[in-house]
Amino acid sequence: MKNTILFAMLAALAGTAAAQSTYIGGNVGRAEQKLSIEGDSIKDHDTGFKLYGGYNFNQNFGLEAGYVDLGKMERSGGVARVRFEPTSVYFAATGTLPLDPQFALFAKAGVARTEVKANFAVGNLSEDDKASRSTAYLSVGAAYAVNTNFSVVAEYEYFGKVAKIEDSNGNLKANMVSVGVRYKF
């Protein structure tokens, strides 16, 4: 009996979520990583992408989850080389401010879990490492509704310090500026 009631409640919630504004989307853009070590910093840019989905409770508030590939940062000098490849999964609350029936501004705040794969090489010696870290996730953007279901979006996302480099008291920060499409069911 308890399982039947639980199943009925979950089905009702799923129906409510589907009746609201459920959406999926994808963006492509410029990902930036900034490596800071002992007072010095270097930046690198690469192509990044993200896939996401969510739903809005009403026209102003909702929830969203997504996967982001933040490209890679690679630097070499002499016989040494270092490479970082961050990927992130995020969950965020969303706020939307419709300016007219087609154009809206939005913001997101939540948490991101980022995994950074690192490779350090000197000559023929190479070492791989991997670390994960949770950080605050922030985003702002704009959406233009082409029709009832299809929108074009532009967005800036900040992932914060996605990795700490223990040996040198350094860190790696990441952000991304992107454009994409969103499809609403």
57 token code pair: 């409770």
Contacts of 130 (CB under 8 A, 6+ apart): 115, 116, 117, 118
Give the residues across from 122 on adjacent strands.
80, 125
φ/ψ region of 26 (left if φ > 0, alpha if ψ in -120 to 50, else beta) reads beta
Give the residues across from 130 on adjacent strands.
117
Q: What percent of the chain has pLDDT over 90?
A: 63
C-beta atoms surrounding 176 within 10 Å: 28
Task: Return d(Cα 17, Cα 26) in angstroms, integer.
Answer: 20
Compare 19 and 103 and report the one with higher pLDDT: 103
Please state which CATH number belongs to domain 22-184. Answer: 2.40.160.20
Task: Return d(Cα 25, Cα 48) in angstroms, integer.
Answer: 14
> Where residue 20 falls among pLDDT bands split at 50, 70, 90?
low
Domain boundaries, the chain: 22-184
3-state DSSP assignment of residue 28: strand
| Radius of gyration in angstroms for the set of CA atoms belonging to the chain, rounded to a whole number | 20
> Where residue 6 falls among pLDDT bands split at 50, 70, 90?
very low
pLDDT at position 16 is: 46
> Where residue 163 falls among pLDDT bands split at 50, 70, 90?
confident
- Prediction pTM value: 0.82
pLDDT at position 45 is: 92
pLDDT at position 168 is: 67
pLDDT in tens, 84-143: 999 999 999 999 999 999 999 999 999 999 999 988 888 888 888 898 999 999 999 999
Of the ranges 75-79, 118-122, 176-180, the best mean pLDDT one: 176-180
